[in-house]
Amino acid sequence: NMGAKNPARRTNARLDAQADFYHDNVLSLTMKGGADPRWLKEALTDDLEREQILICSIVEGNYLRCPDDAGQAALFVAAARFNHSCAPNAAVEATRSFCVVRAAAAVPAGTELTISYLPEAMLEDAVSRRQRLKGGRDFDCRCARCVAEGWATTLAEAPPATGEAPTS
Protein backbone atom coordinates (compact mmCIF):
# COMPACT_ATOMS: atom_id res chain seq x y z
CA ASN A 1 0.00 0.00 0.00
CA MET A 2 1.84 3.07 -1.29
CA GLY A 3 1.82 5.82 1.32
CA ALA A 4 1.03 3.59 4.33
CA LYS A 5 3.10 4.12 7.49
CA ASN A 6 4.52 1.15 9.32
CA PRO A 7 4.87 1.85 13.07
CA ALA A 8 7.25 -1.10 13.45
CA ARG A 9 9.82 0.70 11.25
CA ARG A 10 10.03 3.81 13.48
CA THR A 11 13.71 3.91 14.46
CA ASN A 12 14.99 7.47 13.91
CA ALA A 13 13.02 10.58 14.89
CA ARG A 14 14.50 12.79 12.16
CA LEU A 15 14.02 10.25 9.38
CA ASP A 16 10.54 9.42 10.66
CA ALA A 17 9.60 13.13 10.57
CA GLN A 18 10.91 13.41 7.00
CA ALA A 19 8.97 10.31 5.94
CA ASP A 20 5.82 11.63 7.63
CA PHE A 21 6.22 14.96 5.84
CA TYR A 22 6.62 13.16 2.51
CA HIS A 23 3.57 10.94 3.05
CA ASP A 24 1.34 13.57 4.69
CA ASN A 25 2.26 16.63 2.62
CA VAL A 26 4.16 15.95 -0.59
CA LEU A 27 1.94 13.07 -1.68
CA SER A 28 -1.14 15.23 -1.03
CA LEU A 29 -0.14 17.68 -3.79
CA THR A 30 -1.83 17.36 -7.16
CA MET A 31 -0.18 15.71 -10.12
CA LYS A 32 0.64 17.75 -13.23
CA GLY A 33 -2.56 18.78 -14.96
CA GLY A 34 -4.66 17.56 -12.04
CA ALA A 35 -4.32 13.93 -13.15
CA ASP A 36 -5.89 11.34 -10.86
CA PRO A 37 -3.15 9.20 -9.26
CA ARG A 38 -5.48 6.19 -9.12
CA TRP A 39 -4.75 5.47 -12.79
CA LEU A 40 -1.16 4.61 -11.77
CA LYS A 41 -2.40 1.77 -9.58
CA GLU A 42 -4.35 0.35 -12.50
CA ALA A 43 -1.64 0.95 -15.12
CA LEU A 44 1.48 -0.15 -13.24
CA THR A 45 2.17 -3.20 -11.10
CA ASP A 46 5.65 -2.22 -9.91
CA ASP A 47 5.33 -0.18 -6.66
CA LEU A 48 8.70 1.57 -7.08
CA GLU A 49 7.99 2.60 -10.67
CA ARG A 50 4.50 3.80 -9.67
CA GLU A 51 5.89 5.95 -6.84
CA GLN A 52 8.64 7.39 -9.06
CA ILE A 53 6.13 8.44 -11.73
CA LEU A 54 3.81 9.85 -9.07
CA ILE A 55 6.50 11.99 -7.43
CA CYS A 56 7.86 13.20 -10.79
CA SER A 57 4.36 14.27 -11.82
CA ILE A 58 3.81 16.00 -8.47
CA VAL A 59 7.11 17.88 -8.74
CA GLU A 60 6.52 18.81 -12.39
CA GLY A 61 3.09 20.22 -11.54
CA ASN A 62 4.09 22.05 -8.36
CA TYR A 63 7.72 23.20 -8.51
CA LEU A 64 8.55 26.89 -8.21
CA ARG A 65 11.42 28.82 -9.72
CA CYS A 66 14.02 30.12 -7.28
CA PRO A 67 14.45 33.76 -8.36
CA ASP A 68 17.18 34.28 -5.74
CA ASP A 69 19.09 31.21 -7.03
CA ALA A 70 19.24 31.75 -10.81
CA GLY A 71 18.38 28.73 -12.92
CA GLN A 72 17.17 26.67 -9.96
CA ALA A 73 13.76 25.33 -8.99
CA ALA A 74 12.43 23.60 -5.88
CA LEU A 75 9.33 22.03 -4.40
CA PHE A 76 7.93 24.04 -1.49
CA VAL A 77 4.78 22.27 -0.31
CA ALA A 78 3.06 25.27 1.29
CA ALA A 79 3.91 27.67 -1.55
CA ALA A 80 2.83 25.08 -4.14
CA ARG A 81 -0.74 25.52 -2.92
CA PHE A 82 -0.92 29.12 -4.20
CA ASN A 83 -2.88 29.56 -7.41
CA HIS A 84 -1.38 31.21 -10.48
CA SER A 85 -2.42 34.57 -11.88
CA CYS A 86 -1.01 36.46 -14.85
CA ALA A 87 -1.48 39.56 -12.65
CA PRO A 88 -0.33 38.20 -9.28
CA ASN A 89 -0.75 40.12 -6.04
CA ALA A 90 2.15 38.28 -4.37
CA ALA A 91 5.64 37.18 -5.34
CA VAL A 92 7.86 34.21 -4.53
CA GLU A 93 11.28 34.92 -3.04
CA ALA A 94 13.21 31.66 -2.94
CA THR A 95 16.51 29.86 -2.98
CA ARG A 96 16.72 26.08 -3.24
CA SER A 97 16.28 25.76 0.54
CA PHE A 98 14.10 28.73 1.57
CA CYS A 99 10.87 30.25 0.29
CA VAL A 100 8.81 33.28 1.27
CA VAL A 101 5.66 34.49 -0.47
CA ARG A 102 5.17 38.24 -0.03
CA ALA A 103 2.19 40.36 -0.96
CA ALA A 104 3.15 42.94 -3.59
CA ALA A 105 0.96 45.58 -1.90
CA ALA A 106 -1.72 45.75 0.76
CA VAL A 107 -4.29 43.03 0.08
CA PRO A 108 -7.83 43.38 1.42
CA ALA A 109 -8.94 40.75 3.93
CA GLY A 110 -10.55 37.78 2.21
CA THR A 111 -8.75 38.36 -1.10
CA GLU A 112 -6.97 35.32 -2.50
CA LEU A 113 -3.20 35.68 -2.70
CA THR A 114 -1.92 34.58 -6.10
CA ILE A 115 1.56 34.11 -7.52
CA SER A 116 2.87 33.74 -11.05
CA TYR A 117 4.29 30.37 -12.04
CA LEU A 118 6.23 32.24 -14.74
CA PRO A 119 9.05 34.78 -14.52
CA GLU A 120 7.74 38.36 -14.60
CA ALA A 121 9.31 38.98 -18.03
CA MET A 122 7.16 36.20 -19.54
CA LEU A 123 3.86 37.73 -18.40
CA GLU A 124 3.66 40.47 -21.04
CA ASP A 125 3.08 38.39 -24.18
CA ALA A 126 -0.27 36.63 -23.72
CA VAL A 127 0.28 33.97 -26.40
CA SER A 128 3.66 32.81 -25.10
CA ARG A 129 2.65 32.96 -21.43
CA ARG A 130 -0.45 30.85 -22.09
CA GLN A 131 1.54 28.36 -24.22
CA ARG A 132 4.16 28.12 -21.47
CA LEU A 133 1.51 27.47 -18.80
CA LYS A 134 -0.17 24.83 -20.97
CA GLY A 135 3.10 23.09 -21.80
CA GLY A 136 4.74 23.39 -18.39
CA ARG A 137 1.78 23.07 -16.03
CA ASP A 138 -0.83 21.54 -18.33
CA PHE A 139 -3.60 24.06 -17.73
CA ASP A 140 -5.35 26.85 -19.59
CA CYS A 141 -5.14 29.96 -17.44
CA ARG A 142 -8.49 31.48 -16.51
CA CYS A 143 -7.28 34.21 -14.17
CA ALA A 144 -8.96 37.64 -14.06
CA ARG A 145 -6.33 39.10 -16.43
CA CYS A 146 -6.91 36.40 -19.05
CA VAL A 147 -10.66 36.93 -18.77
CA ALA A 148 -10.25 40.72 -19.09
CA GLU A 149 -7.98 40.28 -22.14
CA GLY A 150 -10.46 37.93 -23.82
CA TRP A 151 -8.39 34.74 -23.54
CA ALA A 152 -10.84 33.05 -21.20
CA THR A 153 -14.57 33.60 -21.32
CA THR A 154 -15.17 33.15 -17.60
CA LEU A 155 -13.20 31.97 -14.61
CA ALA A 156 -14.83 28.57 -15.12
CA GLU A 157 -14.45 28.12 -18.88
CA ALA A 158 -11.57 28.80 -21.27
CA PRO A 159 -11.63 28.84 -25.09
CA PRO A 160 -9.42 26.44 -27.04
CA ALA A 161 -5.75 27.45 -27.14
CA THR A 162 -5.54 28.75 -30.73
CA GLY A 163 -2.91 31.43 -30.20
CA GLU A 164 -5.38 34.22 -30.98
CA ALA A 165 -7.66 36.06 -28.59
CA PRO A 166 -11.33 35.39 -29.22
CA THR A 167 -13.32 38.19 -30.81
CA SER A 168 -16.52 39.46 -29.25
pLDDT tens per residue across span 72-89: 999 999 999 999 999 999
pLDDT averaged over the chain? 87
- Supply the pLDDT for residue 157: 47
Mean pLDDT of the 91-115 span: 95
Mean pLDDT of the 113-140 span: 93
* Closest to 72 (Cα-Cα) out of 103, 98, 104: 98
* Interval 22-66: pLDDT, tens: 989 999 999 998 888 988 888 999 999 999 999 999 999 999 999
pLDDT band at 153 (very low <50, low <70, confident <90, very high): confident
- Supply the pLDDT for residue 4: 60
What are all long-range contacts of 145-151, with beta carbons under 8 Å and residues at least 24 apart? 145/85, 145/86, 145/87, 146/86, 151/126
Above 80 in pLDDT, residue 15? Answer: yes
For the question of whether the overall pTM of this predicted structure is more than 0.95, the answer is no
CA distance 83 to 127: 20
State CA 30 to chain mean position distance: 8
